[in-house]
């Protein structure tokens, strides 16, 4: 009869004999797997997960086969079949898990990038709006103090100061309206009443409203259409989109220049294009034209009549709220802003 202690020591001795052999067979596989994972560090995460699952399975199979001396007994065959079954089950799971983890990581990176962009945009907006608010407020305060102290007393001078105060007040009111509209868009609180809107009426009303501004600047505003489509949208918001684009075009077109509004249908969508004579926009600035408060390098110090840099951002938000698209490109002596909107069902 074999004593239990003897059995234990026999098993320990056998383990010590096969341990160097097992390590000699398993370690190369593990090291090769580690190098492969290092090489795949910039590749698809699903591939790395697959390698990570296969390395221990291959190491186990290699160790078992080597220790058995390549003698395939029933026990070894059963173990190999079980290992193969484990690989067949775990590899697809690893691929799915890798893809899901990669998608989640990409989403998190994009979310963080969007948050950083929004925060940077918010800070930039606050800085620029603070500057734009201080300028007219300082002017209003100075003129009001002059009127109160009797520095100006003649009726023409008083009327002139009153007119300038009124103009600055209107400018401040327009900026506050823009901020309110932008806050509704960014907060997702924009509620649209969708109806059939003829673009002819929207463009006509806009040109009538912007006509005096264009005349003062000696800018010609022309409208032409291959077809006047009817779109599905909200009349006030579409009027604001077209008004912002036309006002922006007039503002950046030099005297005796031309602003063209072209309307038609292309690819199953209504297309409205506003072309100006601004002289072109640097290619690096084109992707940022619709960012909040972006004016471009030449407009860092805005003129008294310039806007707060919100018009194009508001236009983009309103167009996207209509399931449309807006884009800008350089064209001829200026640039072209193109809006695509869904047609109303006929």
Lookup: tokens for 332: 């001829």
Question: Who wins on pLDDT, 106 or 251?
Answer: 251
119 burial level (CB within 10 Å; 0-12, 13-18, 19+):
exposed
Lookup: tokens for 316: 């983009």
At residue 108, the pLDDT reads 81
The b-or-e profile of 125-138 (16+ CB within 10 A means b, else e) is beebbeebbeebee
- Residue 287: band (very low, low, confident or very high) from pLDDT cuts 50, 70, 90: confident
Is 50 exceeded by the pLDDT of residue 334? yes
Rounded CA Rg of the chain: 36
Please tell me the least confidently modeled range out of 132-141, 239-248, 305-314: 305-314
Question: Who wins on pLDDT, 227 or 44?
Answer: 227
Task: For the chain, give the percent of residues with pLDDT over 70.
Answer: 71
Average pLDDT over residues 59-79: 69
Is 80 exceeded by the pLDDT of residue 87? no
- pLDDT 10s digits, 178-195: 777 777 777 676 778 889
Q: Are strands 220-225 and 230-233 parallel, antiparallel or unpaired?
A: unpaired
Task: For the chain, give the percent of residues with pLDDT over 90.
Answer: 24
H/E run at residue 264: strand 258-266
Sequence-distant (6+) residues with CB within 8 A of 291 are 121, 313
- pLDDT 10s digits, 191-225: 788 899 999 999 999 999 999 889 999 999 999 98
- pLDDT 10s digits, 96-128: 776 777 677 777 888 888 788 777 766 766 776
Q: Please work out, in degrees rounded to the nearest 5, the angle formed at the alpha carbon of residue 272 by the alpha carbons of 268 and 273.
A: 130
- Residue 10: band (very low, low, confident or very high) from pLDDT cuts 50, 70, 90: low
10 Å Cβ neighbour count for 193? 9
Structural domain boundaries of the chain?
4-108, 124-186, 195-342
- pLDDT 10s digits, 295-333: 665 443 344 444 556 788 889 989 998 999 999 999 888
At residue 171, the pLDDT reads 79
Maximum C-alpha span of the chain: 130
Tell me the three state secondary structure of residue 262: strand
At residue 56, the pLDDT reads 74
264 burial level (CB within 10 Å; 0-12, 13-18, 19+):
middle
Question: Who wins on pLDDT, 163 or 40?
Answer: 163
Q: Give the residue among 233, 251, 258 at the shortest CA–CA distance from 339.
A: 233
Looking at domain 195-342, which of 3.90.1300.10, 3.30.565.10, 3.30.559.10, 3.40.605.10 is its CATH number? 3.30.565.10
Q: Class assignment of domain 124-186? A: mainly alpha
């Amino acid at each position: 009869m074999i004593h239990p202690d003897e059995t234990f020591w026999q098993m320990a001795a056998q383990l010590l004999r096969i341990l160097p052999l097992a390590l000699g067979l398993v370690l190369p596989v593990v090291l090769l797997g580690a190098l492969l994972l290092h090489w795949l560090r910039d590749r698809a995460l699903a591939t790395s997960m697959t390698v990570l699952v296969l390395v221990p399975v291959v190491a186990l199979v290699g160790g078992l086969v080597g220790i058995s001396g390549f003698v395939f007994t029933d026990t070894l065959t059963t173990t190999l079949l079980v290992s193969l079954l484990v690989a067949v089950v775990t590899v697809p799971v690893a691929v799915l898990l890798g893809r899901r983890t990669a998608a989640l990581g990409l989403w998190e990176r994009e979310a963080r990038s969007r948050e950083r962009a929004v925060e940077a945009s918010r800070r930039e907006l606050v800085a620029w709006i603070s500057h734009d608010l201080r300028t007219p407020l300082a002017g209003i305060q100075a003129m009001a103090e002059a009127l109160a102290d009797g520095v100006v007393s003649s009726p023409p001078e008083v009327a002139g100061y009153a007119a300038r105060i009124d103009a600055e007040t209107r400018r401040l009111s327009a900026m506050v309206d823009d901020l309110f509209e932008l806050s509704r868009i960014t907060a997702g609180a924009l509620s649209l009443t969708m109806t059939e809107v003829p673009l002819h009426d929207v463009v006509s009303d806009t040109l009538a409203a912007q006509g005096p501004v264009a005349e003062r600047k000696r800018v010609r505003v022309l409208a032409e259409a291959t077809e006047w489509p009817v779109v599905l949208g909200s009349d006030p918001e579409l009027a604001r989109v077209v008004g912002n684009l036309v006002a922006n075009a007039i503002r950046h077109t030099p005297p005796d220049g031309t602003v063209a509004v072209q309307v038609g249908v292309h690819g199953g969508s209504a297309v409205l294009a506003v072309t100006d004579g601004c002289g072109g926009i640097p290619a690096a600035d084109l992707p940022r034209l619709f960012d909040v408060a972006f004016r471009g390098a030449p407009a860092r110090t805005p003129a008294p009549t310039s806007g707060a840099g919100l018009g194009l951002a508001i236009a983009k938000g309103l167009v996207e709220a209509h399931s449309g698209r807006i884009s800008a490109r350089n064209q001829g002596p200026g640039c072209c802003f193109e809006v695509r909107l869904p047609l109303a069902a006929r």
